[in-house]
Amino acid sequence: MNQITLAIGFGLVTSSILALSAVGFTLQFGVTNIFNLAFGDVMTASAFVAYLVNVKLHESIWLALVAGGLAGGVLSVLINRLIYTPFLRRGTALFTMVMVSLAVATIVQNVIQAGVGSNFYGYEPVHETSLHVAGMLLTPRQFAIIGIAVASMTGLHLLLKHTRLGKAMRATSADASLARSCGIECDRITTAAWMLSGTLCGLAGVVLVMNLATFDATTGNSFLLVIVAAAVFGTVGKPYGAMVGAVVIGISSELAAIVSPSLKDVAAFSVLVIVLIVRPNGLTLNFRIRRPVEVTAA
Amino acid sequence: MSVAYQYYTITLLVYFGVNVIAAWGLNLQYGLAGVMNFAFIMFQSAGAYTVAIMTLGPYTPFGYQHYFFGAHLPWPVSLLVATAVGAVLAFIVGSFSLRPERRDYQAMVMLVVSLIAATLVVSQVSWFNGAGGLAAIPKPFANQLKNYDLVHYGWFYVGLTAVIVLIVYVFVDRITSSPWGRRLRAMRENPEALEALGTNTRRESMKVYVAGGALASLSGGVLVQFIGAWSPGSWETAETFLYFVAIIIGGSGNNMGVLVGAALVLGAFQEALRYLPAFGYTGLAEATQFASLGGLILLFLWIRPSGLIPERRRRYFSGAS
Amino acid sequence: MRLHRARPSAKASLAVGLVTLIALLVAVTVGRAAAASSRAKASSITIGVLYAFTGPNAQNGTTGMAGCLAGVTAVNAEGGVLGTTLKCKPFDTKGDPADAVPATNQMLASASNLAMVIGPSDEAPATIPITNAAKIPNFATVGDPRQDTNTDAYFYRLTPSDSVQGYALGYFGAKYGYKHSASVFTSDLGAQTSVPTFKARYKQLGGKLAADLTLAPGKSSYRTEVEKVINSHPNAIFTEMDPQTAATFLSEYQQLNNNKLPLIVTTQRANQPDFITAVRKAIGVAAFKKSVWTVAPYVEATGLGFQTYKKTILGLNGKVKDAQSYVGHPYSTADYDGIVIAALAMTKANSSKGSVYNKFITGITSAKKGATIVRTYAQGVAAIKAGKKITYIGASGVLAFNRYHSAPREFALYKYNSTTGNMDSVKVFPGAALLPK
């Protein structure tokens, strides 16, 4: 067996998990302009919802996955409605919104910790034998994870490219006030964007935990920065950058692990930094320092 | 005041001084010039590690912790070296992370750089003792002041910190009110216009990035000589965002506002929450306290979105609306 | 808002002068006044529990609090110390030195009648000097070898050093026939402190490392690393990892190795309930029972001392979440013993003042000629009142402090007991053989 093709196969699993979350993050940031540091903690919350369904209600992991995805969507919409929208309506600068989201992240993480304590949790384990496919060695579940990621990405692509909602989202992300004057209801579009990106966030949380085998109240948050790193490749409306970022990080970290396991992230991040410096126009973030973009309809 | 309360007060004052120095440094970068340094905590840590190895003495392989080089530099030479290291590190990091045109883009490069640095420091044990970090870092003038007890020495250290805070204040205040400060503000508000007027904005950003990095590093040096230990747990990326919160809640761009913000967010908020009564099972009260910190931040951002002491409106820009 | 309108240079020099003056005044006057302070008499004696209670290391706090509550309950059941009851108060270090220092000072300032501190863990190098200067006896379960030659008079270590843990692991591996093994440790402090002595002892006794990996903890995948280890065909894996990394690594090992695990020999980290729950669930109870062994400090797990601890901790259900899981826990057991030892020292010294009772602490557990062996607080108090010399042997067994205030212990091999859900010791190793000559 070739160590390199094996590592690439393993990297694809990591990439799939990362792609779901990074695309969710970049979509959220692109459409709503909120650099949401609470993203990781919403992942944790969704993973716990899936835990309830899978372990307490004894339902299948796939139903739990759906529940986790929905929970992520609903929680994201709620956070937006209850906290972010009121702040934006007050004219809070977009960079200050980063700090608002940091506060939300602190609250979500510690509310979870207050509820579940400092213990570790895990879904009902399955013991599957790995299959050899094209030089890779993966379990059926891992193939499923890759499948879910590919399906989500394709679905998102079709949605953004070919539906009214997708076009409206892209228009809103490009220029909210122009979109509004063209008759797009930004409020509804924003809610839809939070639901969609939140669902990706929830799915990513559950899939991450399936892969980790165990998790606690801080798990999602500890992956946030890697997700952000992958997401910075992304341009809104075209989340392909984030997908590429996820694949780069996933595969290069597994390849680096062949040489030096303790430095696997350093290798992946260094690749990112180089790409960011060499191709600085690959991404569109949008912090305006002073003037807020009004995301909501008046 | 009991000895314990005095020492507690001393700790809070030293931390306040350290946080103010660091927050002023970040305020130069972000508040004044608009450079979003998402690697900020890395610079504070660089200062802490520098002072640690510059005071622990030459490295011997027989010691119980690993580091490289090592010297016995006296105060304040150790701090000056740390400041210089912070400046050099900022120059190196800035030389590539300030290359992208957009500020947010630069911030992302810096964020990833600080992730790399954190991973390297943990895995390269021979640098700064890996995850264990460095301990037993000597305190300045400890030999000369041998007969001082902890509290006496503590007040002495408060005095040392106060002197440094003052010097730093003079430095940042001069920058803020200088023509260069005006240019930086103009760059923050409208970099394209400034560029059109013939200013090289990347060079201006680099200068302020180096100045802020040096101050951050200095603050780390002052802190580490007080607590005597430093490890990767002390400089997680989340701390960078807390410094931003302090600046924004206090009043971005205003040195006095930033001072108040540092006192509140990095001091008073956290300390006040410690006094909430314990209840329920183990950890519940602590998690509630931590969540309340988030609540307090939200509250202040809601009440005063532009900060407690906002930047003075100046005639030479049309103002933020 | 601007405070000054003067020219910068004049303003600067004025300000520098003022602050220097103030600083000096403060240093001299307030510092001197500090000597004349006193503490009001409080109704109960406080034990500060100084650990991380939030964040990724929150388990440390939960464990410390469980041990503290057990100790306090046991002592209070016998009427407390010198007629005063004890209570536990948590102080959150958040797991890092920079947050631990203010937390420690806040504890010293605010806790009324603070007589003793337990904790913290990796952040101890920053806090020990503070508790020591405040003359508060400080008991901890920290394994960091930097405390091997501790000289702080008020600091006591209740568990063996991680360097000894490493020797024990190496001794077991080489002496019990696992001479072709893999070494897989995470890069965090708790794991790395055991590595040098493990490798030294293992190789000295003829062991060969077929693979030698350091993992970055908490990653979402270790498949490449697992594949590397599998390809080296080890007959055992020597390891220490946090629960999450272990669960990920070992479940991936099963996936890539036809659901089979080699023998996994790990440290006392794996005797802790959070590790057992997480990893047992991830790899299945049967695999856990068959493949995960630990080499850890020996906890007697029989006898009156242990039974008293067990009864007390199980009686705390409600106050302590999942109390059963702390029955065999090496750290909560040690913290319990620490409190009983301190309470007996206070009784002997007839004072709960740290500076007074501190010098009685080592005498409580040291072996002496003609001493009465006591195994509970009640026995100890009775013997002290009868004027006898005592040697306390508690829930964790013999805890005699050496001149560095460390309590070396024997090490034992532990295997999983599926009835109780704890790790049970199955064999004690001869103490002297573990260490190199």
Report the C-alpha gap between A147 and B131 in whole angstroms. Answer: 38
Residue C310 tokens read as 């067990």
Tens digits of per-residue pLDDT, B256-267?
Answer: 999 999 999 999
Q: Which chains touch A (3 or more CB pairs under 8 A)?
A: B, C
For helices A164-174 and A186-212, the axis angle rounded to 10 degrees is 100
In angstroms, the Cα distances linking C314 to C55, C67, C319, C323 are 27, 12, 10, 6
Query: How close are the terminal C-alpha atoms of chain C, in Å?
Result: 70
Chain C residues touching residue B230 (CB < 8 angstroms): 97-98
Tens digits of per-residue pLDDT, A47-70?
Answer: 999 999 999 999 999 999 999 999
What is the interface size between A and B, counted as CB pairs within 8 Å?
Answer: 145
- Residue-wise burial string across C266-291, b where 16 or more C-beta atoms lie within 10 A, e elsewhere: bbbbbbbbbbbbbbbbbbbeebbebb
In B, minimum Cα distance to C144 occurs at: B132
Strand partners, C239: C184
- Per-residue pLDDT band for A173 (boundaries 50, 70, 90) equals confident
- Per-residue pLDDT band for C6 (boundaries 50, 70, 90) equals very low
Q: Name the residue with higher pLDDT: A2 or C412.
A: C412
Mean pLDDT of C314-321: 86
Asked if B109's CB is within 8 angstroms of A273's CB, the reply is yes
Tens digits of per-residue pLDDT, B10-36?
Answer: 999 999 999 999 999 999 999 999 999
Specify the pLDDT at position C210: 95
Residues of C contacting chain A (CB within 8 angstroms):
54-56, 58-59, 61-62, 187, 213-216, 218-225, 227-228, 243-244, 247-248, 251, 254-256, 258-259, 274, 277-279, 281-284, 321-322
Specify the pLDDT at position C100: 93
| Chain B contacts in chain A segment 163-222 (CB below 8 A) | none
- DSSP calls for B49-68: HHHHHHHS-S--TTSSS--S
- The count of other CB atoms within 10 Å of the CB of residue A158 is 11
Measure CB to CB from residue B294 to each of A90, A106, A289 and give the nearest one.
A106
Mean pLDDT of A92-100: 91
Cα–Cα nearest to A157, from A124, A196, A130: A196
Please tell me if residue B116 touches chain C, with a CB cutoff of 8 Å.
no
Q: Name the residue with higher pLDDT: A286 or B180.
A: B180
What is the interface size between A and C, counted as CB pairs within 8 Å?
Answer: 125
Specify the pLDDT at position B314: 62
Q: Is the pLDDT of residue B276 over 90?
A: no
Task: Write down the mean pLDDT value for chain A.
Answer: 87
Specify the pLDDT at position C13: 44
Element (H, E) at A133: strand A131-133
Specify the pLDDT at position B67: 92
Contacts of C119 (CB under 8 A, 6+ apart): C48, C49, C50, C51, C60, C64, C93, C140, C141
* ipTM of this complex prediction, to 2 decimal places: 0.89
Is C278 within 8 Å of A120 (Cβ atoms)? yes
Pair type for strands C208-215 and C180-186: parallel
**Chain length of chain A:** 298
Measure CB to CB from residue C247 to each of A6, A13, A122 and give the nearest one.
A122
Tens digits of per-residue pLDDT, C104-146?
Answer: 999 998 888 999 999 999 889 899 999 998 999 999 998 888 8
Specify the pLDDT at position A52: 97
Mean pLDDT of C186-194: 88
Residue B89 tokens read as 């590190």
Measure CB to CB from residue B108 to each of A232, A263, A266 and give the nearest one.
A232
In angstroms, the Cα distances linking C379 to C74, C340, C350, C373 are 12, 11, 17, 9
Tens digits of per-residue pLDDT, A245-293?
Answer: 899 899 999 999 998 888 888 988 888 888 777 766 555 444 444 344 4
Tens digits of per-residue pLDDT, C9-38?
Answer: 444 444 544 454 455 445 444 443 433 333
Q: Is the pLDDT of residue A71 over 70?
A: yes
What pTM value is reported for the model? 0.88
Mean pLDDT of B40-49: 97
Mean pLDDT of C372-387: 95
Measure CB to CB from residue B297 to each of A99, A111, A270 and give the nearest one.
A99
**Chain length of chain B:** 321
